[in-house]
Structure 1
């Protein structure tokens, strides 16, 4: 059986009118209830790490926490207004994440007539993904970003498949809030343009949707710039991008002859001297450092970037931390861009290409050890959640690295299967004519995967928790493509073409 599309009138009727899909909902609910109870027996406390503090700081009104996007802090504040316990936060995150995953799953079924056997497997992989349990238990933006992104992608699929003003408005609002939660969403406008190009909407509808998307993006960026300007006197959309740029560029530093650098600017040269000293004194331990270390040069308190920040704070003891962080971001970003522009090929060789391998096999990072191995809760987090006993308890802090051991490998396998599927399907004109809607949705998902990969490799830390949304999209995309290729479907599922 080749790719087909549904023509049912109502999405809800499509789900509830099918006995098998009703069973999907019932069995998923039972599994998720049992799974959540078991998970909380193993991990009674929520999971925290350093970034959790920044979000809670912003939620409590402390501007010094604004070195991370504030969208999750707003969510924390909203949940806290209703429930003060960390358990309820985790429960709400878990329910929203699973609900958005099921919505995405049934939308894939709505567009593609997947055989029951394949649909059941896809459901198990999405609902039973242990990454979802750990993401929901973490006080960080990862879970909320995945929830909103799944809803956003689902609305885009509906816009391509059967557009309506409800989906257009929902997409616009979701896009705006996602930009407040994580800057990875800066790659999303490219996906939106693809959806508009593929959609059957009238030209006027496409123009309105495009204008709304651009307007919400510009509005969010403008508001963030105004916020940082009011707090720091600096016009910037984010006060973290410069740090990221320099961090990435430093992975090539030890591979480039020292005399080849021509750094311009007083502050950039000052940073360069700190970098030179750092590498001279740490050469033995840094020669084999790879981008798999992630934000090493950003977070290392003995590193040159933090050293420059501490120097600014020392010279100006009365300056607020947020302003100091923003000032250093500008200078550090200028320095990082000079490194990249002076040695672009070395940058590609020693950062971009190795980081591509990191993307394909992302490290577990925060998911490797519960609470980064700590046994005590941050005082600020304890006060925010009204926790009297600051002790963090779990079955074993290293358990999750064994539970999630295969997650990076599966992420790699999905990319390999995607490449193999695209090679084997090689859509011909007849195939496109026969299944136009399926081809459009597949194209949309492919553009997202490519945009996410490029942004992750070039502009963002690559860790497993950042890829949960892409992981889910890849599961669906690869499943759909395998179903479209009789040899693969027969090999993997033992199913013949019908």
Structure 2
């Protein structure tokens, strides 16, 4: 038994491919999923015919067109765009490709769980219905940013971890390392993924040498990528920076508390003298004003033309007129990082109060941000490379008359995150009280521990280091909803001894 105690012991355990394509019910479910995805995209494109842009789009686009190895954002998505551009110049094709990647990874996740854990009702049909009607995937796929590709890699990564528990082969081990390494090139949030992967790897049935390889492979790929980017940054800008953006982000985060403090210049290190003077006057004005900045404004201090960081950027260009944007950002990033660390260490309680605590609240109710509306009409006018990347790229793209529909749909999801957290917590407690650990297999219990590990580390990473917006939390929604349905199913099962559960699991795997 994995989840369902009613499954007969002589049920044949086919291969994963046969499980999907030879089983009539699963074949029908897959056919409906494929047809629905196609219809969903056709309907979506009727309402929202053009790709949407954000403030990040221009940087990705320029880096892709020039096939650069440096950018203020991770270069993985730009490399993906460069490959796409060798084949197609169609906006619709890019949206379809990104949705296809999302749908394939989501259904791989779904059918893998059905195959591995054999749920019979809540998950099989409840989660299936969610994937069919979920409007987040088409909207994410319609943006010229990295979210859709990163989410598809995240879903694939989680699924491979489950396969490590179910069928610990060397091939799965290698695929996991490659997917994790690739995800890190797309977005640096994947930095904490190896720590989550520790749980299934160490508790899997791999041999010791395989476990060591499973741990080292993704770390080696990530380390190699970091060294590569640092070297390319040094060659181009003369600064060995891995993440230029993180230095700017560190200072931005510290500014949320500085706007509430009455600053002075005593004991300020000389290297921060110019910077601190700018911060003093800027924050003094904010402190006296009723219009404070809030954490849901994201990286607002980085983009405000009157803020210290943009002032320093303008001063840099006065004496370095021949430098490009990346070089300027890279040159200032170490100073901004050091100043952010200095102020956080000097005022730790203020940082906890005005940034960490507020960020923790925002984690539960993230802002829809760019998902709230169609941004193309005013974003596209600021981009110089649209016509080079897409056919008819410069052709006027009118604002959709269904903007209200988008904002209405997206407004539902922050509340859904709260509901999913509460339901998942409630079902976990009920699972423990009703001795669900004894009802389910060791494999399922490890998978549940994996989910909790991801949730807790994702929370810590998001609150401490990353901007919190709805599009960054879609993987969390998928996991919370899926595992809540699984927990409900296993908790409501009749009690079965651990020995019977393990025996039934082995019978299913062997096809006895």
Verify same fold: TM over 0.5.
yes
**TM-score normalised by length of structure 1:** 0.92
Q: Is 1:461 paired with 2:467?
A: yes
1:395 correspondence with 2:401? yes
Given candidates 458, 468, 489, the residue that maps to 1:452 is 458
Counterpart position of 1:278: 282
Deviation by residue 1:327-361 (Cα, 9 ceiling, x = unmatched): 11110110000111111121111111110111111
Consecutive unaligned residues in structure 1, runs of 5 or more: 488-498
8 Å contact from structure 2 (residues 53, 380) kept in 1? no
Matched, 1:343 2:347: yes
Unaligned runs of at least 5 residues, structure 2: 494-512
Structure 1: distance between partners of 2:256 and 2:105? 38
Aligned with residue 298 of structure 1, among 302, 305, 312: 302
Counterparts of 1:7-22 in structure 2 under 5 Å? Answer: 8-22=13-27
Distance 2:492 2:2 in 1: 8
Distance 1:127 1:20, change over 3 A: same
Aligned-partner SS, 1:47: coil
1:222 paired to 2:227? yes
| Aligned equivalent of 1:374, options 370, 375, 378 | 378
- Give the corresponding residue for 2:319: 315
| Matches for 1:128-207 after TM superposition, within 5 Å | 128-207=133-212
* 1:285-304 CA distance string (max 9 Å, x none): 56543211111111222222
Alignment of 1:109 with 2:144, yes or no, is no
1:39–1:133 contact (8 Å) kept in structure 2: yes
Alpha-carbon deviation of 1:197? 1.4
Give the direction of change, closer, same or farther, for the CA distance of 1:297–1:346 in structure 2 (3 Å limit).
same
Deviations 1:152-179 (Å, cap 9, x if unpaired)?
A: 1111110122111221111111111111
1:481 is matched with which residue?
A: 487
- CA positional deviation for 1:456: 1.2
In the other structure, the counterpart of 1:491 is none
Name the residue aligned to 1:3.
Answer: 3
Q: How far apart are 1:94 and its partner, in Å? A: 0.8
Q: Measure the CA separation in 2 of the matches of 1:21 and 1:306.
A: 56
Query: What CA distance in whole angstroms lies between the structure 2 residues aligned with 1:353 and 1:372?
Result: 34
Provide the secondary structure at the position in 1 that maps to 2:403: coil
Q: Which runs of 4 or more aligned residues in structure 1 lie more than 6 Å from their structure 2 counterparts after TM superposition?
A: 427-430
| 1:407 equivalenced with 2:386 (yes/no) | no
Corresponding residue number in structure 1 for 2:273: 269
Alignment TM-score, normalising by the size of structure 2: 0.89
What corresponds to 2:497 in structure 1? none
Tell whether the 8 Å contact from 2:126 to 2:485 is kept in structure 1 after alignment.
no
How far residue 256 of structure 1 moved from its aligned partner, in angstroms, is 2.8
Matched residue count:
486
Residue 356 of structure 2 corresponds to 352
Question: Can you list the C-alpha shifts for 1:95-151, whole angstroms capped at 9, x where unaligned?
Answer: 111111000111121222222344211012123211111110001000110111111
Q: CA deviation at 1:385?
A: 0.7
Aligned 8 A contact 2:70 2:232 in 1: no
From the superposition, tell whether residues 325 and 420 of structure 1 become closer, same or farther in structure 2 (CA, over 3 Å). same
User: Do the aligned residues in 1 keep the contact of 2:233 with 2:242 (CA within 8 Å)?
Assistant: yes
Which stretch shows the higher mean deviation, 307-316 or 44-53?
Answer: 307-316
> Which residue of 343, 364, 369 corresponds with 1:365?
369
Paired position in structure 2 for 1:325? 329
Q: What CA distance in whole angstroms lies between the structure 2 residues aligned with 1:225 and 1:65?
A: 9
| RMSD over equivalenced CA pairs, Å | 2.3
Worse-superposed segment, 325-334 or 464-473: 464-473
Residue 54 (structure 2) pairs with residue 54 (structure 1): no
The aligned runs of 1:54-73 (5 Å cut-off) are: 54-61=59-66, 66-73=71-78
Residues 271 and 396 of structure 1, relative CA distance in 2, 3 Å threshold: farther
Native 8 Å contact 1:3 1:483 kept in 2: yes
Give the conservation status (yes or no) of the 8 Å contact 1:148–1:174. yes
- Which residue number in structure 2 is paired with residue 490 of structure 1? none
Residue 95 in structure 1 maps to residue 100 in structure 2: yes
1:238 to 243, 262, 277: 243
1:75 counterpart = 2:80 = yes
CA distance in structure 2 between the aligned counterparts of 1:373 and 1:145, rounded to whole angstroms: 25
> Counterpart in 2 of 1:493?
none
